[in-house]
């Protein structure tokens, strides 16, 4: 025999479960609009679907000297400083899924990131998802020998500046 207190608890759990299932169905259900405006809702501004980059992952895999600058006037000096770092290069590895293995801002462990394009023609390096995403870095410039990137996240961009990668290996 079930006591009335236990019966009430079981009944409340059953009702809560039924409501959860009902509400979950409502969230995915699409009801027709009663308004005369039949145009689709615009997508979120500033967020583009992921598209291929104009730079291939294999173009940036390798050993790089790394330095950074805040002031654009310091770029040439920073490139020379990055070249000097080839004794202890930053290695951009090839990912298993066609991406590149690099660090995200403030992460100790590198992970596979994607090269992503955008409708504006800009290229980004970052995890899968919207372009540009908060963890992405924009490829400011790339000529095969020098890669300059800048983090999208404002705080990371201020802390890290413009990252200058200078290829350590001789041009193939």
Q: Are residues 103 and 147 in the same domain?
A: yes
pLDDT in tens, 35-75: 444 444 444 455 555 799 999 999 999 999 999 999 999 99
Task: Give how many domains the chain has, as a whole number.
Answer: 2
The reported pTM is: 0.71
Q: Are residues 25 and 77 in the same domain?
A: no
Q: Are residues 10 and 95 in the same domain?
A: no
Q: Are residues 82 and 153 in the same domain?
A: yes
- Which of 28-37, 70-79, 114-123 comes out lowest in average pLDDT? 28-37
Token digits of residue 116: 């992503």
**Residue 162 forms part of a structural domain:** yes
pLDDT in tens, 77-107: 999 999 999 999 999 999 999 999 999 999 9
Backbone angles phi, psi at 144, to 5 degrees: 95, -30
**Residue 103 forms part of a structural domain:** yes
**Residue 2 forms part of a structural domain:** yes
Q: What is the residue range of 3's domain?
A: 1-29
Give the SS3 label for residue 13.
Answer: helix
Distance, in Å, from the CA atom of 82 to the CA atom of 152, rounded to the nearest integer, reads: 22
């Amino acid at each position: 025999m079930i006591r009335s207190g236990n019966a009430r608890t079981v009944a409340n759990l059953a009702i809560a479960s039924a409501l959860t299932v009902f509400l979950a169905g409502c969230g995915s259900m699409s009801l027709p609009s009663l308004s005369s405006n039949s145009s689709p809702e615009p997508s979120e501004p500033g967020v583009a679907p992921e598209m291929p980059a104009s730079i291939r992952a294999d173009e940036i895999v390798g050993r790089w000297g790394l330095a950074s600058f805040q002031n654009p006037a310091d770029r040439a000096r920073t490139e020379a400083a990055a070249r000097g770092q080839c004794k202890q290069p930053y290695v951009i590895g090839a990912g298993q899924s066609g991406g590149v293995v690099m660090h995200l801002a403030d992460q100790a462990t590198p992970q596979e990131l994607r090269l992503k394009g955008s409708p504006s023609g800009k290229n980004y390096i970052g995890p899968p998802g919207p372009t540009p995403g908060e963890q992405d870095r924009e490829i400011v410039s790339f000529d095969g020998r020098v890669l300059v990137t800048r983090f999208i996240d404002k705080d990371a961009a201020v802390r890290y500046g413009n990252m200058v990668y200078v290829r350590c290996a001789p041009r193939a």
